[in-house]
Amino acid sequence: MPRVKRGTKRKDRRKKILELAKGYYGTKHNCFRIAELQVEKSLGYATRDRKTKKREFRGLWIVRINAAAREHDMSYSTLMAGLKKAGSEINRKMLAEIAMQDPKGFAGLVASAKSALGVAASRA
């Protein structure tokens, strides 16, 4: 049976891990066994924090929309209900951006939400 030479598989695998560990403190960036553990942990953190980032931004947008809505004597929930009834397909990210950058445009959206709600908006 012919001899099998493995080539650079092991070296390539280790090089890939050490490249990912570039910039880590101490032996975590140059000792393979320790770097491998740290890279695995870091990739887990990265996955977790991508989800957390989405959650935190949605919360921020809601806070901004609520603050702008309260300037027009409406709560966040009634504004969103009114926009839904009005058939507005604008998402929270864009709504928060409009609230910050274009107050007059936001006032128009609030007016459309109030008119869609009808009588309930006049009491708010």
pLDDT at 123: 53
Give the CB-side neighbour count of residue 46, counting CA atoms within 13 A: 7
pLDDT at 14: 95
pLDDT at 121: 45
What predicted TM-score, i.e. pTM, was given to this entire model?
0.75
Count of C-beta atoms within a 10 Å radius of residue 123: 6
Count of C-beta atoms within a 10 Å radius of residue 9: 8
pLDDT at 40: 97
CA angle 63, 98, 68 (to 5 degrees): 40
Among 105, 115, 46, 104, residue whose Cα is nearest residue 78? 115
pLDDT along the chain (124 residues), means of 10: 83 95 95 96 96 97 96 94 92 96 94 83 49
- Structural domains for the chain: 11-123 (1.10.1900.20)
Q: Residues 26, 30, 36, 39: is their CA dihedral positive or negative?
A: positive
pLDDT at 65: 97
What is the separation of C-alpha 124 from the centre of its chain, rounded to a whole number of angstroms? 32
The C-alpha torsion from 46 through 48 and 51 to 56, rounded to 10°, is: -90
pLDDT at 71: 94
